Structure 1
């Protein structure tokens, strides 16, 4: 590496300096590159090795790289599912002193899947619908905090398996804006229309390549995000009125929101002058109800549907082996020690990158249920685990290394500034290094 270089980073990893930033990204030697599949992108994106991890590097402009880096960090602080921003590299030059584009560096999201990688031959209608539903939930979460995405699409989203469904993660925040006063209905509808058009186009592209099921209708699937989004948005933010004799409906509303994976930190409850009508509206909603309960009880970090399934197994374990002097936390400790951890440890080392532990445990429970159905008997967990590992897990692809790059606009070259060696603090945990 030669010349001037500025690194603004959330991590203090000197290995960043070992990468060939003075070489155009498209010309990097294979020794640096991680051979991972990637989708279509308007930016040049490549994957590289860094300190035993995989990172995604996107060439863009100085302003865009810095703006997206800060936005991703802000979204993380608000607990929005998104990729992890690591660094912004600016002031790049080649051996002749000519400027090179700035880059945004993000961490590879393990066990994530680009939508194009969720099928081996053809995309089925039910899989496409589940992807759209996951994206609708992500969009609702973004709109609740006042974030306007501006480029909603399957391509700008990564998906993790979540107990038969999918959990969606934002990849590209380049066009996003956060409004402290919340979004107007027009802004929300604009994002929805962008999503509908982009999804239809992406599915039509797959259809043209013969990569979707004959029964899949791109227009019908893309329109599905409108219904899924509006149903969820109404459930989370809509007002509800009922007779004061039906106060049980307050608990019913809370239970429905919990089932959707949201907690309510505040309810606005009003009665009319005669005290005969009650009006309620959730004030603050937060996703991850089952995730937080599982994490609190067991220390296991999982997706929302995975957490719900693991909690069901924990509740079943507690019902079978409960002790008079054991509370919920003690039973959870027993379940982790006697059920969950032994299953995870039993997976052969060469298969551990197939699925993340929570998804593996969910699929094991599913396999056990199917075996019991077929054989007409209660299958012991150990027997089911052995069958699942040999008959299912060994034949799965390695999902720990499947990633899709972010997308954006056409990049432009930037000016280069020279500077002396210096280290200075910036934005709390960030550090800036000039070489």
Structure 2
């Protein structure tokens, strides 16, 4: 258990780092000061994000009322959508925190630890290495994206000075405030608030997505190891009783993995639904900005576009991996050399094959299955929305 906990914690290192930045943890604080600091950070995070979304709603409403042109309204929606997604995900993290902690503890009881044979160790090492690379790139792209957004107003300011224009430091994004934000002190306060709010959104997005992808990757790893065990079932000389007990143990492991996957799917179902619904809108709006409106913001907008594609793509990729890994269990059981075993072993393997043919998958509140087909649908819808907006924009 100690070895498995160390390996699992290492795979969740970036997840826990991001969660600490927003005042959440799977473990209880070690002292009263840690508890107070954690609660203060969480309250500040939630408050800043809620006002960010509220201010965006007011500003979008005022813009629609005063100037309902597509080029004025569309650039406001992708940051608003990102804020909505972040609020949904932080609610899931907070509400399901204990459940996620239990799932991590449970994973330790079925985690493959040495000694493993060479093939199993290779599968495990490749899976963990691939997950680590994916997490590192996802972390870098998202953090780079938010800091390009944070520093873009300063970059524009120096560009305007270089061009001899009337230079002013702007804001990270446009939002409504119940005071004059252009006064010097208010300007600095708003700029700091928007940087904090934007960074908080990114910490939440990274922490939730890396937690989901890590848990899904580990389930895929265990399913692939189960496939290997099934394929080599009849490769060694055993008694019929030993064959039967091995098949029963594999069936029980498969059932545990199915239950584990279903628990994880239920925990993430709400945030997955909001992800699927809003991702098309976010991608469409930021592409509209990149292609048609703001060349000075092209770097930050492109990084936002890249992070939006990665964000929903990461979820769909690991959801698709779960589908295929479980489906391959049936093929592995069929290729296990079942014809060398007695009838009761064959009946047990038949039970395993039938159950493996029933898909296990992550869903968006049961509305759709999370897979690469879903990712393709999101991109198709994004293009359709963009084409519609482009037509409206061109007509003006």
- Structure with bigger strand share is 1
Instruction: Note whether the superposition's TM-score is higher than 0.5.
Output: no
TM-score w.r.t. the length of structure 1 is: 0.22
Between structures 1 and 2, the one with greater helix share: 2
**TM-score with structure 2 setting the length:** 0.24
